Amino acid sequence: MAWKVKEEPAPGGAAPDVTPQGEHAPTGAQNIFELQAVSVRYSGNLAVKEVGFGVPTNRITALIGASGCGKSTLLRCLNRMNDLIPGARVEGTITYKGQDLYSPRVDPVQVRKRIGMVFQKPNPFPKSIFDNVAFGPRVLGMKEDINLLVENALRRASLWDEVKDRLKDSALGMSGGQQQRLCIARAIATEPDVILMDEPCSALDPISTARIEDLMNELKDRYTIVIVTHNMQQAARVSDKTAYFSVEVGDNDRRYGRLIEYDDTERIFTNPSDQRTEDYVTGKVG
Ligand SMILES: Nc1ncnc2c1ncn2[C@@H]1O[C@H](COP(=O)(O)OP(=O)(O)OP(=O)(O)O)[C@@H](O)[C@H]1O
Ligand SMILES: [Mg+2]
C-alpha cells in the first residue's frame, strides 16, 4: 500500500519516494519509527522534552511512567493525532519507515490509516457491529470486498465466533471487553502497519484483559504495537521493549516528561540501569 503524499514538488528537485517497501515491513531488527529530540508543547508549555528512541518493527513496545509524564502525548505524535489538538506543537524528528512523518508533503489521513489507534475506553460508534468495522475502509474508499474485509478483521481480533450471527446488532450492546476487541478490529480493518494502544485494558476485567493481551501477542506477527499502560505486570508480560518516562520539574515549577530509560523489557524489569526506573518498576514511587 503506497503512502500517499501531497502532490507538491519537493524544494529543489523531484519529490522523494515515500512509498514504504512492501505492505508490511519485514520482521527484523529494523525500527519502524525513529524519534530524535522530540519535544511537544501545548500552547507553548513544554509537555515532553527531547525524547529519542526507536520502535522496532513487529514488536510490542510499552510506554510506562507516572500520570502526566507525556505517554499519551508521545503516542499521539506517532500518528499525527496531535495535529488535531489546537495549540499542540511537535518539534524534533520522527521518521516512519525512514521517511519524515511530519513532512508537509505527507498526508495525515493516510498516516492514520497506516497507524491505527485504540483508546482507553472502548469507543464503538453507535452503529452495528458490521458498520463499525466497515467504517474505516468505507471512508477511505478501499476497493476490497467489504464483507470479507469485516470478517477478516473480526477474526484477527478474535471476535468473529462471538458476533458472526449478530453483525447487524448495535455495537453498544456488547460487553466492554467485546467492545474493545471490536475497536481493535476497527483499527485492523484499514490494514495498518502499526496499532497504537493507550491503556487499552484499564476499563476491562482481568479475563477481558488477558484476552486482549493474548490478542496482542497474536497480532504482533503482522503489526507493530505501541502500548501505554499503568499496569507494570502487563508491560512486563506483553512487551519486548519498554520506555520509562518521568515527570521533571523545570523553571517556574512547570512539569514536563522526559525519557529516563529505554531497553529490552526484561532488562527494564530485572536490571535497569537508572535508579529512577528501578524505583518506579518496583513500586517505590509512582
Ligand atoms: N490536549 C491538551 N491540551 C493541553 N495540555 C495537554 C493536553 N493533553 C495533555 N496535556 C498536558 O501534557 C502533559 C502530558 O499529558 P499526557 O496526557 O500526555 O500524560 P500521560 O502520561 O498520558 O498521563 P496519564 O497517565 O494520566 O494518562 C500534561 O501536563 C497534560 O496536562
Ligand atoms: Mg495518558
Ranges of beta strands (E only) in the chain are 31-42, 45-56, 60-65, 88-96, 99-100, 115-118, 194-198, 224-228, 241-249, 255-264
pLDDT at 286: 63
3-class secondary structure, 70: coil
Can you give the pLDDT at residue 204? 86
In a domain, 242, yes or no: yes
Cα(235)–Cα(29) distance, integer angstroms: 20
pLDDT of residue 29: 56
Q: Given the CA of residue 257, which atom of ligand 1 is nearest to it? A: 14
pLDDT at position 11 over 90: no
Pocket test residue of 41, 42, 234, 247 for ligand 1, highest count of atoms within 8 A of CB: 42
- For residue 67, the CA-to-ligand 2 centroid distance in Å is 7
pLDDT at 109 over 90: no
Residue 277: is its pLDDT beyond 90?
yes
Q: What is the pLDDT of residue 113?
A: 87
Question: What is the rounded average pLDDT of the residues 221-250?
Answer: 95
CB of residue 239 inside a 6 A radius of ligand 1: no
What does the pLDDT average to over 199-224? 92
CA torsion through residues 109, 110, 113, 115, sign: negative
For ligand 1, the distance from its centroid to the CA atom of residue 256, given in whole angstroms, is 9
Q: Compute the distance from residue 238 Cα to the ligand 2 centre, in Å.
A: 19
Name the pTM for this structure.
0.89
Task: Determine, yes or no, domain membership for 232.
Answer: yes
Reply yes or no on whether the pLDDT at 21 is more than 60: no
Q: Is the pLDDT of residue 1 over 60?
A: no
Is residue 42 domain-resident? yes
Residue 92 has pLDDT above 80, yes or no: yes
Q: Which atom from ligand 1 is nearest to the alpha carbon of 230?
A: 25
Residue 188 lies in a domain: no
2 found inside a domain = no
- 67 ligand 1 Cβ < 6 A: yes
73 Cβ below 6 A of ligand 1 = yes
Rounded mean pLDDT, 117-143:
94
Q: How far is the CA of 80 from the centre of ligand 2 (A)?
A: 16
Which residue in this structure is represented by grid cell 512487551? Answer: 239
Q: At 174, is the pLDDT very low, low, confident or very high (cuts 50, 70, 90)?
A: very high
Residue span of the structural domain in which 235 resides: 31-123+193-281
**pLDDT(252) > 90:** no
Q: Is residue 22 part of a domain?
A: no
In a domain, 17, yes or no: no
Tell me the average pLDDT across 109-136.
94
Model pLDDT, residue 3: 56
- What's the mean pLDDT in 8-28? 41
DSSP output for 142-191 = --S-HHHHHHHHHHHTT-HHHHTT-TTSBGGGS-HHHHHHHHHHHHHTT-
Q: What's residue 4's pLDDT?
A: 53
- Percent of the chain having pLDDT more than 70? 90
Q: Is 85 in the pocket of ligand 1 (CB under 6 A)?
A: yes
In the chain, the number of structural domains is 1
Across the chain, what does the average pLDDT equal?
89
Q: Does pLDDT of 85 surpass 70?
A: yes
Q: Summarize the confidence of residues 257-265 as an average pLDDT.
A: 98
User: Which of 32, 57, 25 has the alpha carbon at shortest distance from 220?
Assistant: 57
Burial category of 228 from C-beta neighbours within 10 Å (exposed 0-12, middle 13-18, buried 19 and up): buried
Residue 82: give its domain's CATH number: 3.40.50.300
- Tell me whether residue 75 is in a domain: yes
